[in-house]
Structure 1
Amino acid sequence: MKIDALHNEAELLTDIAAGSERAFATLFHWYRDKVYSAAFRLTHSSFLAEEVVQDVFLKLWVKRETLPEIAVFEDYLFIMARNHVFSALKKMARQQALVDDLQLEIPVAENTTYNRLLDIEIAEIVHQAVELLPAQQKQVYLMSREQELKREEIAKTLRISSETVKTHLARALRHIRAYSKLKLEISISWLLFFLVN
């Protein structure tokens, strides 16, 4: 089922290609919920669906110069979202397979030690990642995670908009995930080396 198209979509795409953040915001607000719904139907995960929205629109902005060349933007956008979902699901399946393989390789008695060491290592890596965040991102992240404040409460306390809080949280989480993934892969290799040898 086709959704109503933006009446000035071609003009918006041209403006975005020229670097207009206002035009991009209009496009984002028009399609955001639709992309989220499509991603949620495929993943059944609000977290993954939100990630798809962020990543798809970030990719659109990065490749904005090519937008005017797209014949049917809506089709392009949803194919892009679908491909992103499938890539994310494949990646999750590979990661789960790796975890399953690691658990099979480690005897049960050692598995408890491994898990304890891994939990300590993960906590330390996340702490390091948080410490590397820019000041305001770090503040927003800590207020959200440690003080368990809602977006609106953080916005009011820091005198910034709720959307700015959302952006800071998204960027902070993206950084923490990327940093943790890199560091954790190294740590798992070392932990396995010491446990197996």
Structure 2
Amino acid sequence: MNALKIDSLPEMRDLLKKISKGDERAFRIIFDAYQKKIYSSAYQMLRDDILAEEVVQETMLKLWMMGESLTKIENLQAYLFKISRNKAFDLLRKKEMQFKAEKNMRSDWKEGHNETEEQILLNETRKILADGINLLPPQQKVVYQLCQQEGLKYEEAALTLNLSIETIRSYMRLAQRFLRNYVKSHSDVLALLIIFKLL
């Protein structure tokens, strides 16, 4: 079943209604139908595989978390592409800001900067990150620790916790978003750049 067929059949509304009630099978049908189209559209804008995949995940995560509001959607394809386009623009802006921050950081660093100073900052950033992890909701915290810190694949974490792979992905996205914002609000731009290595 492709995206156009879903949009033209009454089953689309039924799928959205099921998703609003937490039906993961219905969500998988929608995800499979639109994943490639959203990815292709995002990649044309971003020219980056990882960022394009992030747009897909963020778009579908938003859909999954909409609840009863899903039943009000008239044109699913148009709605999904609007969300994905906005998220792609956000990533473009962040990418440009990060590039400028890195450029300024390199030019502003003094010649006397050494590995000891960088290690101190790294340790401080790790402490802030640890504090943020402790503030995560219990399930997000467990998923983050298994996948990010212990190195489990999403499939392995899903089996361990008896959750779907999509739920694991969703928890990871939410956890990473929270932690980036937490570190950003508790440290300077250099630490923010370092955190992308830790996350």
1:119 to 119, 122, 141: 122
Q: Identify the residue that residue 168 of structure 2 maps to in structure 1.
A: 165
Cα deviation code 1:109-129 (max 9, x no counterpart): 136454333222221122112
1:9 is displaced (CA, Å) by 6.3
Gaps of 5+ in 2: 192-199
Q: Identify the residue that residue 151 of structure 2 maps to in structure 1.
A: 148
1:130 is displaced (CA, Å) by 1.5
- Report if aligned partners of 2:21, 2:67 keep a CA contact under 8 Å in 1: no
Which stretch of the first structure deviates more once superposed, 99-108 or 38-47? 38-47
Cα deviation code 1:92-118 (max 9, x no counterpart): 211221232133223121364543332
TM-score normalised by structure 1 residue count = 0.71
- Report if aligned partners of 2:55, 2:87 keep a CA contact under 8 Å in 1: yes
1:174 to 167, 174, 177: 177
Question: Identity over the aligned pairs, expressed in percent?
Answer: 29
Aligned to 1:115, the other structure's residue is in SS state helix
Aligned to 1:153, the other structure's residue is in SS state helix
1:31 to 23, 34, 38: 34
- Report if aligned partners of 1:126, 1:180 keep a CA contact under 8 Å in 2: yes
TM-score normalised by structure 2 residue count = 0.71
2:187 to 184, 188, 193: 184
Gaps of 5+ in 1: 189-197
Counterpart CA distance in 1 for 2:34 and 2:139 is 28
Which amino acid counterpart does residue 166 of structure 1 have in structure 2? R
How many residues are treated as equivalent by the alignment?
186
> 4+ residue runs of structure 1 moved beyond 6 angstroms?
none
**Distance of aligned partners of 1:112 and 1:49 in 2 relative to their CA distance in 1, 3 Å threshold:** same
1:8 is displaced (CA, Å) by 2.2
1:65 is displaced (CA, Å) by 4.4
Q: Identify the residue that residue 55 of structure 2 maps to in structure 1.
A: 52
1:19 is displaced (CA, Å) by 4.6
